[in-house]
Structures are given as structure tokens and as C-alpha cells.
Chains A and B, each alone.
Chain A
Amino acid sequence: MAREIGEVILDLQNISLRFGGVKALTDISFNVRKHEIRAIIGPNGAGKSSMLNVINGVYHPQEGTIMFHGKPRKDMEPHMAASQGIARTFQNIALFKGMSVLDNIMTGRNLMMKSNFLQHALFLGSARREEIEHRKKVEEVIEFLEIQSIRKTPVGRLPYGLQKRVELARALAAEPSLLLLDEPMAGMNVEEKQDMCRFVLDVNDQFGTTIVLIEHDMGVVMDISDRVVVLDYGKKIGDGVPDEVKNDPAVIEAYLGTSH
């Protein structure tokens, strides 16, 4: 791959997160470089999802600093993270169940849509133009992810694998610079996994999107990621390129040794 991995855009320093007595994350530091695919792996309950939640402001760590594009940010709310170009998908699909595929993906454009409810109510001129302009962008995403045939379907009626893809579409519609994917391939069959891998790689390659990815399938992780962070019981036990991590004794014991 001829991708240029760039400077550090996200730097997490000494992050600790507690829920009452539960230490979800303890003193974790790692960084993410522009344009790379950064994987987070670890057994269930290791704190991977919590880590993503910290990055996009759903959880606020008790300790630590987050530098995004060189600026420290603390207690950032999710919508602020969104407006700074961070989008994500969830481990348990978090689509808007009552809406069509198209409407779900259109919500991804929300931050870029400027007209207000009065303009929407009248649906004249600028509001209509805006809707059409963003619809075009959304159609590009739909085409990219090959979901043209289901655009008008209510998402609740779709099979699991397609729902995951629609969720990715919604995140991509926001044209994020940093994309967080929480187990995008979990529960998929081999073919669906291959499709999803291809999409992740294409997003990274064609749009230059930086990706932080949580994944259980070690084969997938080793194949597509540039660098891997390994978490176990909320602590970081490994960090490096796939080959390094794969051969790290601590990682082998904690993670590869278990039944995953």
C-alpha cells in the first residue's frame, strides 16, 4: 500500500476511567497517526468499547489528557467530537430503528445542514436545495457500500450484516477524519466479513480516513491494521505493529491463550 502514515492526530495520555468501583481503564496511553488503521484488541470486558467512548466524548475519564490535533480536550461532549470530525459505529447496532436506510444515512449529514425548522416547514428554495445537495452525497456513500437496493427499507427489517453496513454508511456520510469502529465484523459470516474488510480498507485508502477499529477476529486484525493496541482488564499490555504484538509473550498469555 502506498499510503502515507502521517503525524499523530490523536494522543491519549494516562487515561483512567472508573464506574464506581469498576476500573474500566487504568493509566492507558497510546496514539493514533493520521491515515493509519489502528486496532484495539483484548478479551471481553477489557475496556475496548470504553476506550472508544472516551475518544468521542460519551465517557469522561477521571484522569488523563486527550490531545486531538495537538490541542488538549477534556470532557468534550459527543456532539462536539462529531463537529471535529469524529464519527463511529457501535458494538450493538445503534441505528434509528423507525427510519429508512436513506433517512438513517441522511442523519449523518446533520451537522452540515444549515437550514432551520421554519425553512424545513416551508420546504422552499434553500431548504430544498440543501436537502438535494446532501442527498447526492449520501447516494455516493450508498453506492460505495453497495446498498442501493435497500435505500427505502426501514432498517429494522434488514438482516444483521446489512444493518452493520448501514451504520457504517451513516458514519461515512459525515465525512469524518477519524472513524471509530466497534467490532464492525462481529456476528458476520465469512463473506460479509470479507466485504466489510474491503470497505474498511477502501475508506482508509480512498478517503484518507484515519480508523480506530475494535475487532476480535485476529486474522482480520493482523491483515488490515497498521498498529495494534492490546488491552486486558483495563490495562495496556501491548502496542505495536501486528507482527510484534503477535509474538509478545504477555499478549499471547492474556489474549491469544484464551478461547478467542
Chain B
Amino acid sequence: MFYREAGQFKASYREDQQIFPIRQDRIGIVAAIVFFFLVVPLIANQYWLQAILTPVLIFSLAALGLNILTGYAGQLSLGSAAFMAVGAFGTYNFMLRMDGIPFLVALVLGGLCAAVVGILFGLPSLRIKGFYLAVATLAAQFFIVWVLVKFGWFSNHSTSGVITAQHVEILGYTFDSPLSKYLLTLAVVVVFALLAKNMVRSATGRKWMAVRDMDVAAEVIGIRLMGTKLQAFAISSFYCGVAGALYAYMYLGTVEPEGFNLDLSFKILFMIIIGGVGSILGSFIGAAFIVLLPVFLNVAMHTSLGEFIPANIAANLELIIFGGMIVFFLIVEPHGLARLWQIAKEKLRIWPFPH
């Protein structure tokens, strides 16, 4: 089937403003959703569901959160993991302290806690930009983890702040199997991705991008920098917070504040750099890439290929490839794998007559 918009004439602005204006994209999205909801449960084994697909989805959501802030609103952050921690510990405390609270409500409330903390640590963005802002968010990263360890209340006074996720039950159904956790995560992530897609293609997204691209011009048009930046911090942190709660409840089961360290923040940053800064699809591609690369390398090392590569290099291959790709994308293609995919689609659109 050809990928092109020729022959798909838009008779109204309403049609032109559909969420996916090109029919093949619409078909692709529906096919992907059907595949991940209906086909994957039939073919994926426990290992794939539990150790790969669920974390990919959760990291995609966190990357999406960071992409809203960094990719769309242009505010660099190194605090994603800390906002995830706030979401996880927030949800835990709502579950713990409010009897019978539905999990999804606690999840959203946890996200809202992260949003509030996000706004607080977003305040410096009103005065500083770029590198200096990144350093300020770094402060959030260390401060939040420190608070969660220091004050036992957050972890119900467990040793070193470890929390164990309560059982999740929705409408009498307990989510304890890898498959059920995968499906719940998938549902949450799909909903949030569609909401994000809607935001970025409407006035909200245009405001973010305007502030990112040229803040003086944005202000002169009547966009309030302060409100717009803090809104981006709030929504971004909300997404990260929900991702953090899913990380605790759907993936690890037991987490400690130190688990949400700077390494994790960097990992999420690398996801959007490799996947695509300012792209929703890129958030998914980046997360999948970073989770899957070590898995593939591991498999490759156990085949005959492994024999040709010295052990000391093999051990560091993952880092070498990550490093190389990050440098490549930063310099050559700042919009990441998602952009490469888009270029391929554009080529396809005019194929086979490129002129």
C-alpha cells in the first residue's frame, strides 16, 4: 500500500485538524493499538511482558513527560527521575492512608503531587535558561531523593525508604499477573499519549513551542512566559509522576528513593535524544531502543558473533554504542530516530517519482 496523501482531499478545516490527518497514519495507529492490546497478549511470554514490554511503556511515558518539557517547551531538565519518585511515593501514600481509594485515583493524585513539585522546581526557569536551568533541576534531583530518604513518613518508616507496592485492584479484578500489569500499563500510557498528542497540536502546544523557539516573539504576541513555562513543568512532571507510580506498581513492586537517581534521569534524557526531541513517537522509539539494546547485545554476544569480539570490549559495547549514538544524534540529527522515520515517510510519499 502506498503511503501518501494524494487523493485525500480535505474538504473542511475539521478534517484537516484530525489527530492523524493522513489515512495511512490513522490505519497505522489503529493497527498498532490492536496489535499491542490483542496480539501481544497471545504471543508474548512472561519474560517479554514483565521485563521488556511493561518497562518500555513506562519509560515511554516518562520520556514523553520530559519531551513535553524539553522537546516542546524547550526547558532542559535533569530531574525526571525525581519527579517519578514523587509520583511513586505520592501514590503509595494515598493508597496507604486513604482506605479503599481506587488505584487509578491514587495514580492521578500521585501525578498531581509530582506536578506541584514540578512547578516549585520550575520556578528558576523564569530567570535562567539552558545549562544553568539544567543545573537547577539537578538540585531537584538530589533534594527530592534526599527528602524521601530522610523523612520516614514518606515510606511509612521502612528502612532506607523502601516501599512495597500494595495490591492493585480495579472493579474487583486484581492486577498481579505480568499480562494484567502489561495491559493496565498499556491502557494508561495510550490514554496519556493521546492526550499529549492533542495538547501539542493545539494552542497549548503552540504556546510551548513558541516559548521554546523565540521567547521574545512569544511574549510580544501575548504569550505569558511564566504561565507557559510553569504549565509545561507541571504537565511534564505529572507525566513523569504517573510513570514513576507505574514503575513501582506495575514493574518493580518494591522501590527505594535511590532507585530514582540521576542515572535514571539521564537514561530518560538519552531516550528523547535518541528517539527524538519534540516528538511523541520519538519518546516511544527512544524508550524501546534503550531497553532493547542491552537485550539484543546480550543475545548477539551468545551467538558466534560474540567470539570475534574481545571480552573487555564486549562488556562495554553497550556504553560505546549509546555514547556513539548520542553524539551522532546531538550533532547530526537532533530530532532523533523519529525524524529519520519521518524522512523515510516523506521519501515514500513521493516514491517512485522523487521529482
Given contact pairs A120-B198, A135-B13, A110 touches B207 in the complex (Cβ within 8 A): yes
**Chain A, range 66-94, C-beta contacts under 8 Å to B:** 77-79, 81-83, 87-88, 90, 94
Complex: A82 Cα to B222 Cα, angstroms: 5
Q: Which of A81, A94, A99, A110 contacts B203 (CB 8 A)?
A: A110
Contact present for A113 and B219 (CB under 8 Å): no
Residues in chain A near residue B128, CB distance under 8 A:
none
A: interface residue count bin? 35 or more
Given contact pairs A98-B213, A106-B203, A107-B210, A174 touches B198 in the complex (Cβ within 8 A): no
Residues in chain B near residue A78, CB distance under 8 A:
216, 219-220, 222
Number of interface residues of B (CB under 8 A): 32
Q: Which of B195, B214, B224 contacts A79 (CB 8 A)?
A: B224
Contact present for B198 and A99 (CB under 8 Å): no
| Prevailing SS type, chain B contact patch | helix
**Chain B, range 194-212, C-beta contacts under 8 Å to A:** 195-196, 198-199, 202-207, 209-210, 212
Complex: A79 Cα to B207 Cα, angstroms: 13
- Give the segment of A18-26, A126-134, A190-198, A200-208 that binds chain B: A126-134
Q: A78-B216, A79-B224, A117-B199 are in contact. List 14 more A-B contacts (CB 8 A).
A: A58-B219, A78-B220, A79-B220, A82-B219, A98-B209, A106-B203, A107-B218, A107-B221, A110-B203, A120-B199, A120-B202, A121-B195, A128-B17, A132-B17
**Chain A, range 164-208, C-beta contacts under 8 Å to B:** 170, 174
B278 at the A interface (CB under 8 A): yes
Residues in chain B near residue A99, CB distance under 8 A:
206, 209-210, 213
A136 at the B interface (CB under 8 A): yes
A108 at the B interface (CB under 8 A): yes
B269 at the A interface (CB under 8 A): no
B19 at the A interface (CB under 8 A): yes
Q: 1/0 per residue A96-118: CB within 8 Å of B?
A: 11110001001111110101110
A160 at the B interface (CB under 8 A): no
Residues in chain A near residue B206, CB distance under 8 A:
99, 103, 106-107, 110
Given contact pairs A99-B209, A103-B209, A108-B221, A58 touches B202 in the complex (Cβ within 8 A): no
Contact present for B217 and A96 (CB under 8 Å): yes
Complex: A94 Cα to B207 Cα, angstroms: 15
Residues in chain B near residue A90, CB distance under 8 A:
216-217
Contact present for A96 and B210 (CB under 8 Å): yes
A56 at the B interface (CB under 8 A): yes
Given contact pairs A99-B209, A117-B235, A88 touches B202 in the complex (Cβ within 8 A): no
Shortest C-beta distance, A257 to chain B (Å), equals 34
Q: Which of A81, A96, A109, A127 contacts B213 (CB 8 A)?
A: A96
**Chain B, range 1-36, C-beta contacts under 8 Å to A:** 13-14, 16-17, 19
Q: Which of B199, B203, B278 contacts A113 (CB 8 A)?
A: B203
Q: What is the chain B residue whose CB lies nearest that of A56?
A: B220
B70 at the A interface (CB under 8 A): no
Looking at B17, B205, B214, B217, the one whose CB has the most chain A CB atoms below 10 A away is B217
Shortest C-beta distance, B280 to chain A (Å), equals 13
Contact present for B216 and A94 (CB under 8 Å): yes
Shortest C-beta distance, A91 to chain B (Å), equals 12
Shortest C-beta distance, A167 to chain B (Å), equals 8
Complex: A130 Cα to B221 Cα, angstroms: 18
B67 at the A interface (CB under 8 A): no
Contact present for A122 and B198 (CB under 8 Å): yes
Shortest C-beta distance, B72 to chain A (Å), equals 9
Shortest C-beta distance, B237 to chain A (Å), equals 14
Residues in chain A near residue B221, CB distance under 8 A:
82, 87, 107-108, 110-111, 170, 174
A95 at the B interface (CB under 8 A): yes
B91 at the A interface (CB under 8 A): no
A144 at the B interface (CB under 8 A): no
Residues in chain A near residue B203, CB distance under 8 A:
106, 109-110, 113, 115, 120, 131
B231 at the A interface (CB under 8 A): yes
Contact present for A132 and B19 (CB under 8 Å): no
